[in-house]
Chains A and B, each alone.
Chain A
């Protein structure tokens, strides 16, 4: 089992409620992510996973509740996120397609106090096996490489909290294994990782804990094997086959 978490979580979501007009997208969502911990946020389409990310990033304003980062209220402005130690990847990647890979990874460093941004960016690219593509326009790369560029761009600022929106989506088995190794390495450095993901095997592989959302509410949370056995989760989301397959593969411990 994982070691007991420290007192102040890196990310604390407390009674979060978000509404779009009359539609309540999230209600009473509570969970926390600690330093060095990887938490997966799962749930059917439309459950509110990306809305949680958007609320953490200040892109949507909660009607109730609070988001705290390192014990402090999340920055009111989205532009302050990176300086508060929060980096995020996007489902649509959001790369600057016309810029080179290196330029993409340099953008987050523009306003951070970093001695040699280019050296830092090149080091991150090297870690993700992208250095040989540094001068290529990002839009010309194949999808797996583009996903790695998005990841490098999130990691380059050395975030304390990393939000990954469907990092395994669209990747093949080998790329998913490499991604899992990267996520574990990042978490081992003490970074808190929160990820939204549909790929069950990947989630079981990397997550220390899983939070399950359905219709904007947390219906289960805990260690992966416990969540797998939760009947409410089965009913809402996983489907018996997926749960069975993942259980055999995992063999119990997280």
Chain B
């Protein structure tokens, strides 16, 4: 029972990171109708920026802010410099350019920083609190949960309650109509990319201190799992990303704890296959087809 409680609480923190990264994929998808296969490579690039600033200043928080800013800038630059120039209404060029970008970024990082794992220290202890002798969340897990929840809440407020969010949604769903209504659509698409990659960078920065360390491939597995989460939840559904993220986080934690770490990716893929067979649009996808 103790083990179960521990695995559940660890799974929650893992799920929050997964949900955050999946949400970043949903944001790009909704803004630009692209599955950004370069999201992990872009996020890890931002983490390197955070790592460099933390190493130079000694401040985790300065690094965290730098990472967020670097993610946003990289997202905007990739959209303006690459994605915008691709032919519209064809999914393949975006995917191929994204895969090329993965190779360039990861090779570039390996050249600049070396391929080894560089330790990143969490700002809070990773030793779990003991409640009645049972290990539960660590202070860092708690920080992860709070940071993820805060960002998701802020994004929900932005998209649901502000004029800017309304324009972001309008531009994503019906660009031509939005233009007639005065919405500066290209700017909104760029902003969507910036928000998405900053969110992905945060997820990566929360993850890396709990893993082996920073390396150009440190976020690859997170991307694979988060992509499964986004598809399971429905690529169009932020709520789907959140709930599927937590669900898959718990699944990974329980399978890792009771079976083995190597079985966890198989469990995720099995769940993905099941969802695709039963509900190909994702569990939380809207029923009706989109109009734009």
Chain B hits for A83, CB < 8 A: 182
Interface residues of A in 126-154 (CB under 8 A from B): 139, 153
Q: Majority SS of interface residues in chain B? A: helix
Which residues of B sit under 8 angstroms from A153, Cβ to Cβ?
Answer: 181
Contact (Cβ within 8 A) A139 B288: yes
Quick one: which of B175-190 are within 8 Å of A by CB?
176-185
* Those 8 A-B pairs whose CB atoms lie nearest each other, nearest first: A94-B177, A82-B182, A108-B181, A78-B179, A110-B163, A111-B182, A107-B170, A107-B181
Complexed CA–CA distance, A4 and B181 (Å)? 32
How many A-B residue pairs have C-beta atoms within 8 angstroms? Tell me: 68
Which residues from chain B contact A82 at a C-beta distance below 8 Å?
180-182
Cross-chain pairs A/B with CB under 8 angstroms, 20 sampled: A78-B179, A78-B180, A80-B182, A81-B182, A94-B177, A95-B291, A96-B174, A98-B290, A99-B166, A99-B173, A103-B166, A106-B163, A107-B166, A107-B178, A109-B163, A110-B163, A110-B182, A111-B167, A111-B183, A117-B163
Q: A83-B182, A109-B163 are in contact. List 7 more A-B contacts (CB 8 A).
A: A82-B180, A82-B181, A82-B182, A94-B177, A96-B173, A107-B166, A110-B167
Q: Which of B170, B177, B184, B290 has the most CB of A within 10 A?
A: B177
Would A98 and B176 count as touching, CB distance under 8 A? no
Complex formed: what's the CA distance from A98 to B170 in Å?
10
Of the candidates B178, B180, B183, B288, the one whose C-beta lies within 8 Å of that of A88 is B180
* Cβ distance B261 to chain A, nearest Cβ, rounded Å: 40
The answer to the question of B14 belonging to the interface, with a C-beta cut-off of 8 Å to chain A, is: no
Contacts of A97 in B (CB 8 A): 173, 288, 290-291
Q: Does B286 sit within 8 A of A, measured CB to CB? A: yes
A112 closest partner in B (C-beta): B182
Enumerate chain A residues within 8 angstroms of B176, measured Cβ to Cβ: 94
Does A238 interact with chain B (Cβ within 8 Å)?
A: no
Interface residues of B, Cβ cutoff 8 Å to A: 163-164, 166-167, 169-170, 173-174, 176-185, 286, 288, 290-291
Q: How far is the CA of A153 from the CA of B176 in the complex (A)?
A: 15
Question: Which one of B173, B174, B177, B182 has the greatest number of beta carbons of chain A within 10 Å?
Answer: B182
Q: Please give me the residue from chain A that is nearest to B186 by CB atom.
A: A79
Is A60's CB within 8 Å of the partner chain B? Answer: no
- Establish whether residues B183 and A79, one from each chain, have CB atoms under 8 Å apart when the complex forms: yes
Q: Is the CB of B170 within 8 A of A96?
A: yes
Measured between beta carbons, the chain A residues less than 8 angstroms from B178 are 107
Give A104's nearest chain B residue, CB to CB.
B170
Within 8 A of B (CB), among A63-93: 78-83, 88, 90
**How many residues of A are counted as interface, with CB atoms below 8 angstroms from the partner's CB atoms?**
26
**A211 lies within 8 A of chain B by Cβ:** no
Q: Nearest A residue to B286 by beta-carbon distance? A: A98
Bound together, the chains give a CA A57 to CA B181 distance in angstroms of: 11
Taken together as a complex, chains A and B put the C-alpha atoms of A83 and B183 apart, in Å, by: 11
The answer to whether B173 and A79 touch across the interface, beta carbons within 8 angstroms, is no
C-alpha spacing A88/B184, complex, angstroms: 17
Complex Cα distance A57/B179, Å?
10
How far, in angstroms, from A110 to B184 measured CA to CA in the complex? 11
- The CA of A53 and the CA of B179, in the complex, are separated in Å by 15
Residue contact A99 to B182, C-beta cutoff 8 Å: no
The answer to whether B180 and A107 touch across the interface, beta carbons within 8 angstroms, is no
Minimal beta-carbon separation of B34 from chain A (angstroms): 19
Cβ 8 A contact of B184, one of A79, A94, A96, A99: A79
A117 surroundings in chain B (CB, below 8 A): 163
Instruction: Identify the closest chain A residue to B171 (Cβ).
Output: A107
Across the interface, name the chain B residue whose C-beta is closest to A97. Answer: B291
Residues of B with C-beta under 8 A to A81: 180, 182
- Which A residues touch B173, using CB under 8 A? 96-99
* Cβ A110 vs Cβ B183 within 8 A: yes
Nearest CB of chain A from residue B16's CB, rounded to whole Å:
26
What is the CA–CA distance of A111 and B185 in the complex, to the nearest angstrom? 12
Residues from chain B with Cβ under 8 Å of A79 in the complex: 179, 182-185
* Chain B residues with CB below 8 A from A108, complex form: 181-182
Chain A min CB distance to B285 (Å): 12
Q: What is the CA–CA distance of A117 and B176 in the complex, to the nearest angstrom?
A: 22
Give the one of A79, A99, A106, A153 with max B CB within 10 A: A79
Residue on B nearest A90 in the bound complex, by CB: B177
Note all chain B residues with C-beta closer than 8 A to A139. 288, 291
Known: A94-B177, A110-B163, A117-B163. A99 touches B183 (CB 8 A): no
B167: chain A residues at CB < 8 Å are 107, 110-111
Task: Given the known inter-chain contacts A90-B177, A110-B163, A117-B163, please indicate yes or no for A96 contacting B182, CB distance below 8 A.
Answer: no
User: Whole-angstrom distance between the alpha carbons of A95 and B288 in the complex?
Assistant: 14
Q: How far is the CA of A108 from the CA of B182 in the complex (A)?
A: 6
Set of chain A residues within 8 Å of B185, measured between Cβ atoms: 79
Contact with B166, one of A57, A88, A110 (Cβ below 8 angstroms): A110
Contact yes or no, B182 A94, CB < 8 A: no
Distance between A121 CB and nearest chain B CB, rounded to angstroms: 11
Q: In the complex, which residues of chain B have a beta carbon less than 8 angstroms from the beta carbon of A78? A: 179-180
Q: Which of A83, A99, A107 has the most CB of B within 10 A?
A: A107
